[in-house]
Amino acid sequence: MRTNGVPDFPDPQPGPGMVFNTAAVNPAAPAFRAAQAKCHHFLGSGPAAPGSTTHPTAQTLAKLLDIAECMRRHGVPLFPDPRTSVPPDPMSAGYDFITDYDGAILLFPSALNRQSPAYTEAGAACGSLAEKLGSGPH
């Protein structure tokens, strides 16, 4: 992406699964779309390739759904439910942070402030995994 006109495209972040924080790029920009078209073949068929389907265990999905519900109960209404697929163009759809946790995909909307006190407090209330989900550069 960087060599094809998106110099600020982020490296994947360390952590469980694949994590990208795309807040520094504009997915609607013509340069981004052109680079995305040129680089799409690098995605392969891995679990986080746009449009792909992953196969998390029922236990993983249930655990992440419990966390999502807990985060919402504790004041984070935009916390996402786990998914088994990624939409074709998640960044243009308003997501700026994507993570794959044991095959379950979490798409964090750009409107969700993952640095807010409410997010931090909800993460602490919902357990150590909740605190880690959605973390990374902001």
Higher pLDDT, 4 or 45: 4
- What is the length of the chain? 138
Structure tokens at 104: 């379950």
The confidence score (pLDDT) of residue 95 equals: 83
Residues 19-68 pLDDT 10s: 566 667 777 778 877 887 777 666 544 444 433 456 788 999 999 999 99
User: What sign does the CA torsion over 126, 51, 92, 7 have?
Assistant: positive
What are the residue boundaries of the structural domains of the chain, listed by start?
2-132
Residues 69-120 pLDDT 10s: 999 999 999 999 999 887 777 777 788 788 878 888 888 998 999 889 999 9
Q: Position of tokens 């993983």?
A: 60
Contact (CB, 8 A) for 118 and 75: yes
